[in-house]
Amino acid sequence: MRIALRTVVLLLSLLLGAFVGVSTFLIGNQVKAPPLATAITWPIVTLAPANDAYNGYSARLARNSAARVTIAERKNALTTYLSEPLSVPGLALLETSRLVASDPATNFAYLRTVSELSRRTTYVNRRLAEIYGRQGDAVHMFRWLSRTARTNRDFERAYVASLAGSLSLRGAVEGITPLVGEDPLWRKEFWRLAVRNTPALDRAAAIRKNLIRAPWRQTRIDEEEQWLLAALAAAGHFDTGLDLASALASANDIRGFSSLDSLVRNDRFRAQPRLAPFDWRLSSSSDIVAAIYPKEPGLSVGAITGSSGSAAEQLIKLMPGAYSLAWSISAFEKWGAHQVAVRLRCAEPGVAAAPIDPVFLDDKAGNARVTVPAGDCVWYWLSVDIAVPDDGSGMDIVVNRLSLAAAAPGYEAPAVPVSTAAKPAILAP
């Protein structure tokens, strides 16, 4: 009797284990492999038909945006709905099968309700983004696209490209700022694409400036910020670029970026430049090498025989008038005449500007008068240029200071020296 009872208990345990095992397998595969779950007749399998239909429709939709739900897929969605009315894939198929309502308002309300059941249904998220886009609500459109990207990595690349390409839309700044403010994994890719959208660079800069403030407080200066500043300068958005660079400099407490005494930023070379070209852009060619070492302030410049070009340059804004250029240089050996010069040339594309004679820094310290002529140009490249003749020796100098300020009334600094005995090594443009 006891043996028979043990046998019955063992058989019941085996049957229960088998039931649990098969049920677990089928429940798990209702999402992972719905065709397999559907093929096995089992009362607990209720979600598989809609999941199978949804996966098939989604695959066709990815290949053809005009794809429609088939009769079989609609039947599977209805079958699932009757047993599991909260099945999101089934509810999504009912909406796209036009079985919910004919008026857009009801359909929209339906989709919003379905979206509360799950954040992972790509079709619902994209449909809501599409509706908001047609309504001109860029903030909500980007938000729903963001939800899709977070739950569907295959969609992420297309999503980021659409964000960068949508910068020109009304409301893009307000809509995109909080998305990038979350510091997503695709942040770098977004900025890489955004700097290529030249017509919308001002809006990209507005987004980056917004991110400096609360609640995001993204104050770091990485290569993405440097890409954006370089793109703004290349496109002629000088004021926007300087505004962004100043905000980043203030947030990072960069020493000497702005000064009341000079129009040249970082004029005493106390900080490593990270905001070029609105701070110093340094040469790193094989002929001329320039570097700034904050622990020993100064612009170190080394040049070999026969080299010629810019060691450092930055963009500055100048109105027509008289200015005083002051400098201080240290070196172990005296450099040749006209081998170091400061040049100003118009940076604005398409603007004709009268040339400005270069100032040759032949002495270790001094100042000179520079006159910016009247005209349409207000943004200039200020550069420290080097020219070592072929029969000369290499040079190593440290520029300790280079400042430019509006000349005070009655200012009578020496005029810019121009040699008449020989042709200058550096010519005005």
pLDDT tens by residue, 121-170:
666 777 777 777 778 777 787 777 777 777 666 678 878 888 898 898 88
pLDDT score, position 25: 37
Q: For residue range 204-219, what is the model confidence (pLDDT) as tens digits?
A: 999 999 999 999 999 9
The span from the CA of 390 to the CA of 379, in Å, is: 33
Dihedral of CA atoms 247, 252, 219, 348 in degrees, nearest 10, equals 40
Q: pTM (2 decimals)?
A: 0.72
Contact yes or no for 356/344 (Cβ under 8 A): yes
Pairing state of beta strands 308-317 and 379-387? antiparallel
C-alpha pair distances (Å), 397 with each of 182, 311, 401, 426: 46, 11, 12, 18
Q: For residue range 306-338, what is the model confidence (pLDDT) as tens digits?
A: 999 999 999 999 999 999 999 999 998 899 899
pLDDT score, position 410: 56
> Whats the size of the chain, residue-wise?
429
Confidence band for 411, pLDDT divided at 50, 70 and 90: low
